[in-house]
Amino acid sequence: MLIVNELYKINNVSLEVKLINNNAKKFVSPLVMLHEGLGSVALWKDFPEKLANKLNRKIIVYSRKGMGKSSAINEPRSVNFMHVEAKHYLKNIIEHYCEQEPILFGHSDGASIALIYAGLNTPIHSIIVEAPHLMVEELTIKEISKIKLQWETSNLREKLAKYHDDVDGAFNGWCNIWLEKEFKKWNIEEYIKKINVPLFAIQGEDDQYGSLRHINLLKKLLKKSFKKLIIKNCKHSPHQEYPNLIIERLSKYLISL
């Protein structure tokens, strides 16, 4: 298995990228992984390598601007920050690293970004979303408010500093926009209606950041093939809580396409 860690520059922004190639054939669609709101390349831990072993596909993992070892964010995030990510940074990553139409695998905010990108009618093979957000729920706001309190009163900053060069920018950039009053109007249902590729949705039944309303809306709005996996006794990160199950189900899903 060949693993390359590098910085990819888009104008004046450097993005941390991890490339994993397990002897994948050139004509096989690569898989691009988009992390959660507070995630980074390092926070996926060894899950991408395990996935590469099973799928025999090239895997591209990257940290978004402000996260991991990528360039810091020097200004507050805008309400449409996920749209900017999909239309600009993800687009550039795909055009630079993918020889074939990619499979997008997004978790949480990363899943939302993947959905926006897919809804732009851009060329992709398929999409896998884990704990996606299609709109802002009160449940999500309450949980993020709890995390903000932990940030102020516990050693959460110290824990996250292991995964982000600018840990204050990473946390505040994510937390502040989600708690912004204007962000309550954020909604990407219009993009879901335009998705024309197969989609596999995964969510924990006990997800503390979002209800199953998001998965039900996907089923209702999608025109193409839709499959789901709802996991009992599972919270917001199924790939961490049940990695073997997720890898096995993803493998079977991709073989079936």
Q: Is 3 helix (H, G, I), strand (E, B) or coil?
A: strand
Task: Please compute the mean of the pLDDT values over residues 242-255 and round it to a whole number.
Answer: 97
What does the pLDDT look like over 37-69, one tens digit per residue? 999 999 999 999 999 999 999 999 999 999 999
The first and second tokens of residue 159, run together, are 């824990």
pLDDT of 29 > 80? The answer is yes
Position 26 scores a pLDDT of 74
User: Distances in Å between the alpha carbon of 95 and those of 14, 17, 76, 91, 124?
Assistant: 16, 14, 27, 6, 11
Between 146 and 26, residue with greater pLDDT? 146
What is the C-alpha separation between 244 and 13, in angstroms, rounded? 35
User: Distances in Å between the alpha carbon of 114 and those of 106, 131, 134?
Assistant: 6, 12, 11
pTM: 0.97
What does the pLDDT look like over 177-231, one tens digit per residue? 999 999 999 999 999 999 999 999 999 999 999 999 999 999 999 988 999 999 9
**pLDDT band per the 50, 70, 90 thresholds, residue 78:** very high
Count of CA atoms in the C-beta half-sphere (13 A) of 28: 15
DSSP letter assigned to residue 42: G
**pLDDT band per the 50, 70, 90 thresholds, residue 22:** confident
What does the pLDDT look like over 82-111, one tens digit per residue? 999 999 999 999 999 999 999 999 999 999
20, 1 in Cβ contact below 8 A? yes
What domains, with CATH codes, occur in the chain? Answer: 2-256 (3.40.50.1820)
Give residues with Cβ within 8 angstroms of 33, minimum separation 6: 44, 48, 59, 60, 61, 62, 105, 106, 107, 110
211 alpha-carbon distance from chain centroid: 17
What does the pLDDT look like over 131-141, one tens digit per residue? 999 999 999 99
User: Which residue carries 């959905």 as its tokens?
Assistant: 115
Residue 23: how many CB atoms within 10 A of its CB? 9
